[in-house]
Copies of this chain bind each other. A is one copy, B any other.
C-alpha cells in the first residue's frame, strides 16, 4: 500500500525498456511487458524473496513467465534488481549468442528458472516447481526449521490458457491442493488473431474453480496497484488451494495501439515510441533509460533478499548440527551429485537368469535404488501397473488430508496427462532437490513431445520411462504401437534414447540417465520378456554399443536394439547352422552415447570390411548412420498376439537371416567402408 510516483516511474521504466529493446532488435513482443509491468512491480518488490547475487538460493521464490514471448519484461526486471544482466545485454536482445534470446532460456541467463515460450509449458513447469517445494518441505522441514516455504509465481496469458498442457497441469495442481502456487492470468483479451472473442469465450474463472483453484479477479490491472497487492496477499493466505489471479490488463498499455493485436508481436513504430515516452514523462530522445531512484528502489529490495538468504543460511547451519543426516542429504542433492557408491545397488544379471520384460527390469532397478537415491521422484500417467514405475513400499505424493499419501511421498499420480507430466517434470528438475522419473507407453511420449523437447533444450535431468515400446505390445494394435517415435527422439538434440536388450543394459540405462546431469533420457522398454544376453554388462552397455556376439571371420554385422537383439542372436545361429555363414551381432542400446565414444572404439564395434545390417521393429529412419542395409517397419503395425505380429512382419531368425544373406550378397566384391568413417565433422 501507499504507492507513490516512484512506483509509477519504476513501472514505466520497465515498459520503456521493453519498448526500446524490441525497437532496437526490430523484433519481439512489447505488448505483454507493457501490460504486465504493474503486477511485476508489485509482485517482485512487495512479495518476492530472492537474492540476485545468488540466483541458486534453494528457498528463493520461483517466477515463471509462461507467456515467454514477453521476456523483455523478465530481462528488464532481472537487470533492475541486479542479476547478471547488464544494460548491454538488454541492448543485445534477440541477437546471436546474447543471454537475452527471443524467449527465456534457463541454462544461460541468471535468474531464469525454466525455458519458456512454447505456450502452456511454463504454467506446467510452475506446477512442477510448486510440487517440488511441497515435497522438499515435507522431506526436510522440521519443527522450528522451515527450510522450504517458497512460493511459485507464474504469469500466463490467453495463449497458455487455451493450451491443453496448461489445462492438464491446472487440474493436477487443483487436485494436489498446491497452496504455494500463485498463477497470474494476463486477461488482456488479445492473442495473435486479435480479440479472443473469435476463439476463446469460455469462463476461465469458473474453469479454474472447477479444477479446485481459488480465484481472485483484479479488474484494473493497469492501475490498481493496491488491488493487485491485496489479491496476492489473499492468494498467499489460501493454503489449501492454488490461486489464480485473473488480472484484466491492457496489452501494450501506453501505446497508440494499446488493447489491440497490433502491439502483441511487433515493435512500436518510432512516433508511437515518442508518444509513449512523453506520456510517461521520459525523454523521447533517449533510449534504455533507468532513473537512478528506480535502481535504488529495486536494489533495496534485492538487499532485503540477500539478508533473507543470509538468515536462511544461518538457519541451515543450525539445522546441520541438529539434523546432520538430513543436512548432508540436502547439500548433496543441491550439488546435483548422487550418493557415493549408489551404483552398487544396480542389479546385475547372468545369462542363466530368467527372461524378464525390460519394464520389469526397470522396476527391479527402482526397487533397488529408491532407498539409496532419495531424490528420485517416480510416477506415471495412470499406467502404474503397466509401466512398473512404482516400488513396492512407495508412498504417494498427495495432500495428507486425502489419507492416501504425504507431501514427502515419492510417487506421483499424474493422471492421464502425458504432456503435463513431462512439463511438470521439467519444473521438478529445475527446483534442484529432486530427480523426476515417470512413465507412460512409448507411443504416448509423443503426446508430450512439446515438453520433452524443452527437457532437452533446457538441459534437465528427467527420466521418461516409456514402456510397451513396439509392435511387441501385441493386441492393443497400431494405435498404440510406436513406429516413428524412436527416430523422433533420436533426432532431438541432447536427448538420450535408451532401448535396452536385457537386465544389464537396463541397469546401464539407469546409470546413464541418472548421471547425466544436463540431459533427459527416454528409456524404451518392452512389455514382453527378454532373455539375459551372454555378453552383456553394464560397462559394455555404457559405451552405447558393443558386440554381443563376436566372430573374427564374420561375413556380416547385424546391429540391433532392445527386444530384437536376442532374435538377431538366434538369426546368427540360424545363419551358421543353415547356411554356414558367420555373423557378428552388435547391440546399440543408445545412439547418443555411442556417438560420443572415440572413433577407434566405434570402428571396433562397426568395423570396415563387412557389411552391416540393422534390425529394429520401427522406422528405419536414422539407422543408415550405422548400417549399410536396414530391416525395419516403415508401416503401421497390427493387432494380435505379439509373437504373431513379429512373425507377420518377418522379425524372426529366418526373416533376419534372409536379409543378412541378401546384404552379404549385395556387397560381395565391393570394398565395404564402415559408416563410422565420415568426410567431415558435424557442428555440435
**How far apart are the CA atoms of A164 and B444 in the complex, in Å?**
13
Residue-wise, chain A 195-207 has the 8 Å CB interface mask toward B (1 for contact) of 0111111111111
Minimum CB distance partner of A640 in chain B: B96
- A472 shortest CB reach to chain B, Å: 14
Q: Is A375 an interface residue (CB 8 A)?
A: no
Residue-wise, chain A 472-495 has the 8 Å CB interface mask toward B (1 for contact) of 001111111001100111111110
Q: Is A512 an interface residue (CB 8 A)?
A: no
Minimum CB distance partner of A634 in chain B: B682
A447 — which chain B residues lie within 8 A by C-beta? 118, 163, 165, 419, 449-450
Q: Is the CB of B200 within 8 A of A211?
A: no
Q: Given A199-B414, A680-B629, A683-B635, are A105 and B478 also a contact pair (CB < 8 Å)?
A: yes
Q: Given A478-B105, A649-B683, are A94 and B640 also a contact pair (CB < 8 Å)?
A: yes
Q: Is the CB of A635 within 8 A of B680?
A: no
Name the segment of A42-50, A243-251, A661-669 touching the other chain.
A661-669
Q: Is the CB of B96 within 8 A of A634?
A: no
Q: Is A98 an interface residue (CB 8 A)?
A: yes
A649 — which chain B residues lie within 8 A by C-beta? 683
A433 — which chain B residues lie within 8 A by C-beta? none
Residue from B202, B493, B648 within 8 A of A174 (CB atoms)? B202
**How far apart are the CA atoms of A630 and B382 in the complex, in Å?**
41
**How far apart are the CA atoms of A298 and B677 in the complex, in Å?**
67
A475 — which chain B residues lie within 8 A by C-beta? 25, 27-28, 94, 102
A491 — which chain B residues lie within 8 A by C-beta? 483-484, 487-488, 619, 621-622
Residue-wise, chain A 84-102 has the 8 Å CB interface mask toward B (1 for contact) of 0000000000111110011
**How far apart are the CA atoms of A199 and B131 in the complex, in Å?**
14
Minimum CB distance partner of A404 in chain B: B198
Q: Is the CB of B171 within 8 A of A477?
A: no
Q: Is A210 an interface residue (CB 8 A)?
A: yes
Q: Is the CB of A202 within 8 A of B193?
A: no
Minimum CB distance partner of A651 in chain B: B683
**How far apart are the CA atoms of A446 and B446 in the complex, in Å?**
8
Q: Is the CB of A101 within 8 A of B197?
A: no
A94 — which chain B residues lie within 8 A by C-beta? 475, 477, 639-640
Q: Is A216 an interface residue (CB 8 A)?
A: no
**How far apart are the CA atoms of A302 and B97 in the complex, in Å?**
67
**How far apart are the CA atoms of A496 and B192 in the complex, in Å?**
28
Minimum CB distance partner of A666 in chain B: B679
Residue from B28, B167, B382, B487 within 8 A of A199 (CB atoms)? B382
Q: Is A115 an interface residue (CB 8 A)?
A: yes
Residue from B118, B446, B650 within 8 A of A480 (CB atoms)? B118
- Contact residues, A501-530 vs B (CB, 8 A): none
| Assembly stoichiometry (copies) | 2
**How far apart are the CA atoms of A675 and B488 in the complex, in Å?**
22
A579 — which chain B residues lie within 8 A by C-beta? none
Q: Is the CB of A102 within 8 A of B477?
A: yes
Minimum CB distance partner of A121 in chain B: B479
Q: Is A383 an interface residue (CB 8 A)?
A: yes
**How far apart are the CA atoms of A628 and B241 in the complex, in Å?**
58
Q: Is the CB of B415 within 8 A of A162?
A: yes
A172 — which chain B residues lie within 8 A by C-beta? 199
Q: Is A386 an interface residue (CB 8 A)?
A: yes
Minimum CB distance partner of A613 in chain B: B679
Q: Is A632 an interface residue (CB 8 A)?
A: yes
A671 — which chain B residues lie within 8 A by C-beta? 670-671
Q: Is the CB of A644 within 8 A of B96?
A: yes
Q: Given A164-B164, A622-B622, are A159 and B416 also a contact pair (CB < 8 Å)?
A: yes
Minimum CB distance partner of A476 in chain B: B102
Minimum CB distance partner of A194 in chain B: B384
Residue-wise, chain A 386-399 has the 8 Å CB interface mask toward B (1 for contact) of 10000000001010
6 smallest A-B Cβ distances: which pairs?
Answer: A164-B164, A624-B624, A96-B640, A101-B639, A666-B679, A199-B415
Using A447-B450, A621-B622 as known contacts, list a sample of 17 further A-B pairs with CB atoms less than 8 Å apart, ordered by residue number in A.
A94-B477, A95-B641, A102-B477, A117-B477, A118-B480, A158-B416, A164-B165, A171-B200, A175-B202, A192-B385, A193-B380, A198-B404, A419-B447, A446-B450, A624-B625, A629-B680, A635-B683
